[in-house]
Structures are given as C-alpha cells and as structure tokens.
Amino acid sequence: MKTVRATVMKANVSETTKQIYEDGFNYEADDVIEPPYNITELKQIAEYSTILQQCIDAYKTNILGFGLGIEYVFDFNAENAPEEKKKTAEKEWTRLEEFGRYMNYDESAEVVLGYVIEDRERTGNGFLEILRNGTGQPAGIEYLDAQHMRICKIGDPVEIDFKYTDHGQVKSLKRMKRFRKYVQQVNTKKVFFKEYGDPRTLNAATGEYSEDTPSNLVASEVIHFKIGSGTYGVPRWIGNIVNMYGARKAEELNYLYFKQGRHVPAAITVENGMLSESSYEQLQEYMNGIEGSDNAHKFLLLEVEGIPKKDELSNDEEPANVKVDIKSLAEILQEDALFLEYDEKTRNKIRSSFRLPPIYTG
C-alpha cells in the first residue's frame, strides 16, 4: 500500500537580501559625501521596470530631439545694429558652430548629452566633463557615468570674475563663490575633478589644489546636472519605488505561474479502497505530461481495489463498497495574469511622476 503525503509550507514573509553593498569610496579620508540612495541600484532599476525607461526616453527625446542651436543675444538684423558688433558676433557664431560640431569626436553632442540626461532621470544625477584647449577655452565634452561619481564637501569661498550680459554688452564683476570637488572611482583607480568655473588648479591624482601640479595631472572640470536642491539629486520617481518593486514581483509571479505552475484541475478521492499499482503509475504519467499535447483527447482509466472489512462475529472478510469521486477544482484556478489592475495603476503613477500623458510613452 502506498501512502502519498502533502506538506503545506508557510511563506517566508521576512525574506531579506544577504548581499553587501560596497561601493569602495572612502567617505572619511577624501571628504566625500555619501549619497542618500544606492546610485548603482537606481541606475539599474529601469532595466526591471516596464514603464520607467519609456518615460526616461520621452524626456530625453523631448529635450534633445530638436538638436542644439545657436542664437544671437541681440537683434542681428536690426538697422541700428553696430557693424563692429555684428562682425564680432559673426566670428563668435563660427567658433560656436565648430565647437558644437566637434564637441565630441566619437559621438554627436546630442548623444553625449542624452547619456547625461538618462543618468539624471534614473539616479537624479548626471555628470558632464568639460575639456579645455591651450587657451583655456572649452573645447569638448565627455560623459561621466553617475554610478562611479561622488561629491566632496564644499570648499572655502574663492574670488572669481562673474560675467553677465547687460543690454547686449558683456560685463564682469568680482564675487565670491564656493566650489566642490568630485571624485570618480572605478575598481581601485581614483580620479578627482573640480567644479566648472573653479579658477584654481587641482591635482587629479591627489585632490589637492596646487599651482605646481604637472600638466598631465591637471584636473578637468565637471558640470553636475541634478534634480532637487540637495548635494545629490533625487529621481523624480523615487516616491514610487515601492510600487516599481511590487509590479516587478507581480510580473515574476505571473511568469512562474505559467512556467512552473502545477495546479491540479481536479481531485480524485477514493473511499474504502485504494488505487492499484498500475493505476497510480498511470496517473503519475498523465500528470507529468500535462504541459504537452500527448494526453489531449484521451480518457483516463483508474482501477481501484477495495479494502476488505472483517466481520467481528464470524471473522470473515467482506469486500467493501468502493467509491471513487472526482471533484473539479477549476473554479479556484487562475484564468489570467494576476494583479493586472495593480500593474496598470503603477504605470500611471510612474508616468504621473514625469507628468507625461500616455501618448508620450506609447
């Protein structure tokens, strides 16, 4: 006689990750400020969401989709525009056109800035490296991966020349401004950068300001594009991060249901008897082939052996009345994916955090 036992396992609701988050930055020695969120995780979460990347792509397309343009700061075609001023503007126009065309030798400026915007929308922070030529003028840009960048504490005030435009005239004045340093670390290699506009010379290897820094170690500048007013930016969708994880778990549950789900469509109960050895094996084979089409349009024949009962007076064995009952469990089966309404509301919340209508995300 065979005995089949079923064990009901209680779900573990206190499941936590055992991973150790280590980014390798020394936040005490280098005066580096620790970000409020795991930037690496924020950048990767778009790969597990069904709506976040579409919203980010919509932002990137709407910002850079029309390209970059140059405009005069005055009415160039006005009759009273001074000729000398127009000649100077034409020279600057030509220089800016060349700068925009050769801002990056590997990719167009729109593509490089698109990487920065994508980082900003994923992690709240985007970083752009500014390269200068021998005359000190900006000559190129490079993309910096946000997950490898950290921000240092703000420094002491420094006197700078602040340039502004007044009625078409470029003027300058002295003012005090405080700058930050930035540090990039990939594996064990560490490089320092200074904030754009900082007039001091920074050593890229040591992070110290020194005019005696060798030319090959002079740090380049960084422009920090962020969301919010904090030291680090915060993604605009951060309030919906729990919904994003929940939607992902719901999708995994639906996937596992259709991939591994072995939900029994019926229960076979035997009263006063038991299945024969051949019937038990036949039933097992039938259930194991439930995902294929081998058992389609076939009937199942079960042989049941009755358990004899003893008469206490005569001590004779009498055959028992065997009863086989098949109960349908179809009403408790999942007919379609679960949490569809939850997933739809999550998509609407994420889209709402970007203030995008559905037409922009497809």
pLDDT tens readout for residues 224-252: 999 999 999 999 999 999 999 999 998 98
* 141, 129 contact by CB (below 8 A): yes
pLDDT score recorded for residue 299: 66
pLDDT score recorded for residue 259: 76
First-to-last C-alpha distance (Å) of the chain: 61
Output 303 or 211, whichever has higher pLDDT.
211
Output 14 or 129, whichever has higher pLDDT.
129
Residue 311 has pLDDT above 70, yes or no: no
pLDDT score recorded for residue 219: 95
pLDDT score recorded for residue 114: 95
Band of residue 335 on the pLDDT scale cut at 50, 70, 90? low
Q: How far apart are CA 89 and CA 97, in angstroms?
A: 12
Contacts with 320 (C-beta within 8 Å, 6 or more apart), sequence order: 272, 273, 306, 307, 308, 309
Q: How far apart are CA 337 and CA 247, in angstroms?
A: 12
pLDDT score recorded for residue 19: 43
Tell me what the mean pLDDT of segment 77-98 comes to.
88
Q: Which two three-digit tokens encode residue 69?
A: 């343009």
Tell me what the mean pLDDT of segment 150-179 comes to.
89
Residue 329 has pLDDT above 80, yes or no: no
pLDDT exceeding 90 applies to what percent of the chain?
Answer: 48
Residue with tokens 């752009």: 128
Residue 330 has pLDDT above 70, yes or no: no
Helix, coil or strand: residue 162: strand
Alpha-carbon distances, residue 145 vs 16, 44, 55, 212, 213 (angstroms): 29, 12, 20, 29, 26
Angle between helices 340-353 and 52-64 (to 10 degrees): 30
Helix, coil or strand: residue 44: helix
pLDDT score recorded for residue 6: 37
Q: Which two three-digit tokens encode residue 65?
A: 């989709």
Tell me what the mean pLDDT of segment 22-47 comes to.
86
pLDDT score recorded for residue 290: 52
pLDDT score recorded for residue 304: 75
- What is the Rg, in whole angstroms, of the alpha carbon atoms belonging to the chain? 35
Output 282 or 105, whichever has higher pLDDT.
105
Tell me what the mean pLDDT of segment 332-353 comes to.
83
pLDDT score recorded for residue 254: 85
Angle between helices 109-123 and 52-64 (to 10 degrees): 140
Residue 260 has pLDDT above 70, yes or no: no
Contacts with 128 (C-beta within 8 Å, 6 or more apart), sequence order: 112, 113, 116, 141, 142, 143, 144, 222, 223, 225
Tell me what the mean pLDDT of segment 153-159 comes to.
93
Output 84 or 260, whichever has higher pLDDT.
84
pLDDT score recorded for residue 12: 44
Per the DSSP assignment, residues forming a β-bridge with 246 are none
pLDDT score recorded for residue 308: 75
Q: Which two three-digit tokens encode residue 253?
A: 């549950």
Alpha-carbon distances, residue 310 vs 2, 132, 272, 304, 320 (angstroms): 21, 102, 13, 19, 10
Residue 29 has pLDDT above 90, yes or no: no
pLDDT score recorded for residue 13: 41
Tell me what the mean pLDDT of segment 10-32 comes to.
59
* 225, 195 contact by CB (below 8 A): no
Residue 280 has pLDDT above 60, yes or no: yes
Band of residue 163 on the pLDDT scale cut at 50, 70, 90? confident
Residue 251 class from Cβ within 10 Å (0-12 exposed, 13-18 middle, 19+ buried)?
A: middle
Band of residue 7 on the pLDDT scale cut at 50, 70, 90? very low
pLDDT score recorded for residue 38: 92
Contacts with 93 (C-beta within 8 Å, 6 or more apart), sequence order: 70, 72
* Strand intervals (E) in the chain: 32-33, 125-132, 138-144, 149-152, 157-166, 169-178, 181-186, 189-195, 221-226, 266-271, 273-275, 304-306, 309-310, 317-318, 323-328
